[in-house]
Structure 1
Amino acid sequence: MELLNTNVAANRLNISRATILQRVENKTMVSLTFQTKKLKKHFIPSDFLHINPQKIEFHDCKVISIIQNKGGVGKSSLAINFASSLSLISSKKARILIVDFDPQANLSENFLSQNILSNKPTIADIMRLHKENRELVTKDVVLNSISTVEFENVKYDILPSSIDLGIEIESLRTKTTPETRLNRTLKLIEEFYDFIIIDTPPTVGLYTQMALNCSDDILLIAIPEEFPARGFKTLLEQLELYKNEMIDLKDSKDFNIFGLVINKIENTNLNKHYKDVLVELSFKAGIDNLYFIPKLLTMSESQAFHIPIFEYKQECDMGFKIGGEILKIAFDYLVKNGIIKED
């Protein structure tokens, strides 16, 4: 996927540049906008020239969990940028919530101010209320814990986490069906969102079971190295086990594995070998949607600036290698669910 300036986009569509700019202004064309010192520059992803964001029709809320049993693979980055892709494609029309369900709270700390994190409740506080008396967990309690994050090109809400989440999850183990507590929480607010994306911790314990219990789909992520490749095989086996165990849980969703993101790909023989291992394991598990993201400094730099990849100006100079692939994930997901329509 290329990132086209307005002149090239106009030539591709055989229309005037003024028409392109008008479509961008009216939000009837998918575009990225970057503010320079003198003016705004607009860029059009080549695969989205014929997509009109205003004709995207959302249905019931979809819950997607980002899952991997190894740390350092880029789960939180994928959660943020997948949410950003959905927002970008819809010109901020999609109502998106990211649930930080990791006690490390990296996602929350990277995108929310310390003032918000210090003064608003977190998912840990909500889980504590579940422990004390689940009737205390109301729609207003959950909504009051959520903060909105908006940039030039994308917008989403975040339900933050904190280190206390680990304590609260452990204390829930003594309760009846603790796996259902996150599901009960999200059902209270599903009417306000088109997509809820859950960033899970690098484990396949109770956290993962709670996320799976409320997920329509899961998006797996791995990196092409020895230990993550070994762990990926184990993860697939555990997911199948959990799927069977969840059949008897009340209101549990029958999740599907939407796809696998192979992240941080480098041009080495060893890296290629483990990428092939991950691809083979995926095909054996019936995972058809595979996405390949190269290891580039661009992603690390955008994280350092606390912004999604689509807000990072240098992305334009990197051939759109990362952003384009993440946009493809979102596009495929929208097509799979019958949400997106071509103009």
Structure 2
Amino acid sequence: MAISTAAPGQQARRRRGNRNKRSEAVAGFLFITPWLVGFAVFTVISMTWSLILSFQDYDLARGQGTPVGLANYELLLDDPRVMKSLRNTFIFAAMSVPLEIAVALGLALLLNGVKRGSGFFRTVFYLPKMTPAVATAAVFLLLLNGNNGAINQFLRLFGIQGPQWLTDPFWMKPSIVLMGLWSVGGGMVILLAALQAVPKDLYEAAAVDGANKVQQFFRITLALISPTLFFLVIVNTIAALQVFDQAYLLFYRDVSSSVPDEALFYGVYLYQLAFQRFNFGQAAAMAWLLFGIIMVITVIQIRVGNKLVYYEGGPR
């Protein structure tokens, strides 16, 4: 009798468990529905439409496109400004990504050693990340003013004549890199979490073996946070290759003024083609060319990074 009564009870519990799982699945789906709708409308549909546009000569006035095959992509290869903007973007990425990660890591190391008030300092360093790009650009237009900007005034205290950050072609890319350092708080928070996850007993064991702080940093800290550094390299590289707002707000806010080609970035030239020349087909082709370039660079980074990054479960 005990066996016959236990089986129906187990079945009832199993049915209740299945109902609970279905209810949780439905609730989870409902919670992410707004994101799914936004992703479908603003990402999937937009990307699909831009891919179609890249093979058309689109007339904005008529709202119609004429198929042109690969002509838009061929025009990109013949346009010297495309190659110039791509070169500028690569140089900017090579300058900004290592520097931003280094500054973020330095701030994370400082905060990791703070015992009291660490939450306050984390908030202070992260707040600039929340500043709108327009407000940040307005601040840096004042800071980087070559005549009476705060940065050049500070350099004059040491007898150094600061450059014309916003007009000298040589200093245009460094000025955008400096502006990018304003928002390293996001990477700092991620690296701080990685630093705090490093087991303290490893440092104690290394100290017993005679390792100094520098050796501990390179042999233990960097090794164990290397997956996080690898993630930031990929994310920051993708963001740097899509740079637009910093360059546009610093150099192209006045459409009547001429800007040297040293400040022409890929995203800026794409914007000019689409919304100033209304050449949407070629602009869409530029966007998809950048998408392909980012995909290739990311694959290379993953292939190389997996050989250099330390994973607790072994190599991947």
Query: What band does the TM-score fall into relative to the shorter chain?
Result: under 0.3
Bigger Rg, which one: 2
Q: TM-score normalised to the size of structure 1?
A: 0.21
Normalization by structure 2: what TM-score?
Answer: 0.22
